[in-house]
Amino acid sequence: ALFEPAADGSNSLSAVSATRNYMVLQVSEHVRTKLAFFKHAGDGAWTDETHEANGLAPAGEDVSVSAIWPDDSDECWVSTSGFLHPTTLAKAHAADGAKLRESLKALPPRFDSSQLTCSQHFATSRDGTRVPYFLLGPKELRLDGSNPTLLDGYGGFEISLSPSYA
């Protein structure tokens, strides 16, 4: 098996994209994307060629990969988006772990995010379940409980919402 969910339910398979020689798995781990690359080794076997650089996406960002010409090439489209960064489309190659080779297009920013930061934290529910959440705010924000806060949340039906640009 190329993917097995964690026993604690902390990850899930979000999407799969096949190129000529690779299977690219997008795994959601605590609502953060992690990419895994498997190269076809013949006779139904696959080798894990996931690069160290393909750890979890930065907090508050989402990454998706799709093959450009799946029958003929290992080139991929890579789309990135996040709470603080507009959607960007780039070209990459599966053999490089989808390391961005060429940025093609980006939506224009709607606000200046240079002084903002995003971090991930966990709350613990009464039954002990760890619930991930993202905290966005000024880089110099003191987490002392004295700041005005706007909460936005969703939870239900085992559906997670990925970070996206507003």
CB 5 within 8 A of CB 13: yes
Q: Which residue from 27, 51, 28, 54 is spatially nearest to 39, judged by alpha carbons?
A: 51
Give the separation between CA 104 and CA 89, rounded to whole angstroms.
6
Does residue 164 lie within any of the structural domains? Answer: no
| In-domain check, residue 133 | no
- The count of structural domains within the chain is 1
Question: What is the rounded CA–CA span in Å between residue 3 and residue 27?
Answer: 9
Question: Tell me, what DSSP letter sits at residue 9?
Answer: S
136, part of any domain: no
In a domain, 149, yes or no: no
Q: Which domain holds residue 26?
A: 11-106
Give the model's pLDDT for residue 26.
Answer: 94
Would you say residue 158 has pLDDT above 80?
A: no
Tokens linked to 158: 């085992």
Domain presence at residue 15: yes
Closest residue by Cα to residue 154 from 142, 165, 146, 163: 163
Arithmetic mean of pLDDT, 91-100: 82
Q: Would residue 58 count as lying in a domain?
A: yes
Q: Is the pLDDT at 156 greater than 80, yes or no?
A: no
pTM, two decimals, is 0.85
